[in-house]
Amino acid sequence: MPEGTRTALAVSAGIDTHTRRARALASPRILTGFVFLWAFLDKTFGLGYATASGNAWIDGMSPTPPRGRPRRPNIGEPPTRTGPFRNPVGP
């Protein structure tokens, strides 16, 4: 085989491998994009899967109500200035 033919075949094989790798990496990226697009569309229009049809953004509702959040995050005794160096026996 002439030398030029070998080089052309090697370059062609390299391009083919690069194309396959690029397509293999592009597929999960595109599928992930569709997942996030679907979640956005469901929250916006309330398609009935994760968000009920009456709780959509387009209806003026919040699709994720703040259930289970504390009203006051600092419930309990106030923090001290000494932190971990406070007296364990008493004040």
Supply the pTM of this predicted model. Answer: 0.50
pLDDT-above-90 percentage for the chain: 22
Domain interval for residue 17: 3-63
- Give the C-alpha separation, 22 to 49, whole Å: 33
Q: Is residue 72 part of a domain?
A: no
pLDDT class for 12, splitting at 50, 70, 90?
low
pLDDT of residue 54: 83
CA dist., res. 55 & res. 45, Å (int): 9
Per-residue pLDDT reduced to its tens digit, 40-77: 999 899 898 888 888 888 888 875 666 665 566 555 66
Over the chain, what is the mean pLDDT?
75
90 is a domain residue = no
In a domain, 37, yes or no: yes
Greatest Cα pair distance in the chain: 92
> Number of folded domains in the chain?
1
Domain-located, residue 35: yes
In a domain, 89, yes or no: no
